[in-house]
Structures are given as structure tokens and as C-alpha cells.
Amino acid sequence: MSAADLDVLTTPGVRMGCDLVEPSEIEESLRVFGVRFTDRVFTERELRACTGSDAIARLAARFAAKEAVAKLFADPDLAIPPTEIEVVGSGGAPALELHGSLADRARRDGWRDLRVSLSHTRCHAMAVVCVSCPGTVSPGSGARPAQ
Ligand SMILES: CC(C)(COP(=O)(O)OP(=O)(O)OC[C@H]1O[C@@H](n2cnc3c(N)ncnc32)[C@H](O)[C@@H]1OP(=O)(O)O)[C@@H](O)C(=O)NCCC(=O)NCCS
């Protein structure tokens, strides 16, 4: 790693993450694993929020949000318990809450203003997340240190 790379890693910035999920995959996991799947992945609030004819797509969007937040941590060795990443809110703008070890890690890394946006159709569900981090930039963001 060059000195310029290290400068990039210490530049304050916004990290972004996204993920795309097919609701049919969630449907299949529900069919095969049932409550073992839902208990491992979703919180009670998330399960209560995802009702209606598009319940599976809404769960898929929340699954995508968890994967997208995992990208924000940018640490392949970090354990990511899915229920420690929670999408809160139903029927309006969603928000993210972190719990347990991931909340501790985010606090240590100085995360501020964690945000999420969801979208879903019958075939696709997606999430985009972003967070402000002091002293870091998203890998591959193309950012360069000031000359
Ligand atoms: C809220 C709105 C943007 C949702 O869009 P949509 O295409 O119906 O649905 P999407 O699948 O893209 O998004 C659904 C998600 O949006 C999120 N959402 C809902 N209201 C929101 C709001 N006010 N702000 C941000 N996100 C919102 C929710 O997370 C929702 O998923 P959930 O119900 O599972 O929690 C839309 O219903 C709306 O109010 N549009 C008004 C804007 C407008 O007038 N557009 C017309 C010009 S193009």
C-alpha cells in the first residue's frame, strides 16, 4: 500500500452501500427453513412491519438493507449478525438501528447519520445505505487526497 493509499483511507467521507435481492429467494428460504430463517435474519419489529400482499418483497428489501450495511463496515473478518441491523418504520420513510456488537463497532468507528432507502417490486427488492465516517472513505470511491 502506498502513502497515497493511506491518505485516502484517512480522509473523512461518506460510505455508501447497496444490495439487490430477488423476493423469490426470500420466499424459498421461508418455505425451506421457516421460522429458523426468520428468527436468524429478522427482528420481531421487522416481521410485524412486513404485512400485506407485498410482505415478501418488503422482507426482501430489509434483507437487502442488512447486506448493504455489511458493505459499509468494509471488514471481511467482521461477524455480521443480521438481527443486529434493523430497519424500523412501516408505511413511511424507513430508518436503521444497529444493536449489540455492530452498534459498538459503529460507535468506535465514529459513524454518524446512518441512512437507508428501500424499494421493491414483485421481482426485485433493493436498499441503498450511507453513513458519514471520520477518517475513512468508501473503498473504490475514486476519492483522492488533496494535493
Ligand atoms: C413513498 C413512495 C415514494 C413509495 O414509492 P413506491 O414506488 O410506491 O414504492 P417503492 O417500492 O419504491 O418504495 C417503498 C418503500 O419506500 C419507503 N418509503 C415510504 N414512504 C417514504 C417516504 N416518505 N420517504 C422515503 N421512503 C419512503 C418505505 O421503506 C417503503 O418500503 P416499506 O413499505 O416496505 O417500508 C410513493 O408512494 C410516493 O409517495 N411518491 C410520491 C412522489 C410522487 O408524487 N411521485 C410522482 C412523480 S414521479
Please tell me the distance from the alpha carbon of residue 114 to that of residue 56, in angstroms, as a whole number: 25
pTM for this entry: 0.85
What confidence tens digit (pLDDT) does each residue in 34-85 have? 999 999 999 999 999 999 999 999 999 999 999 999 999 989 999 999 999 9
The mean pLDDT value for 113-134 works out to 96
Residue 73 is placed in which grid cell?
463496515
Helix (H) or strand (E) holding 98: strand 95-98
Q: Spell out the residues 6+ positions from residue 60 whose beta carbon is closer than 8 angstroms to its own.
A: 21, 22, 23, 25, 26, 120, 125
Please tell me the distance from the alpha carbon of residue 24 to that of residue 42, in angstroms, as a whole number: 17
Give the chain's mean pLDDT.
88
Please tell me the distance from the alpha carbon of residue 38 to that of residue 31, in angstroms, as a whole number: 11
Determine the residue of 20, 66, 119 to mutate for testing ligand 1's pocket, defined as the one with the most ligand atoms within 8 A of the Cβ atom: 119
Helix or strand or coil: residue 53? coil
- Domains in the chain (CATH in brackets) are 19-133 (3.90.470.20)
Determine the residue of 59, 120, 126 to mutate for testing ligand 1's pocket, defined as the one with the most ligand atoms within 8 A of the Cβ atom: 120
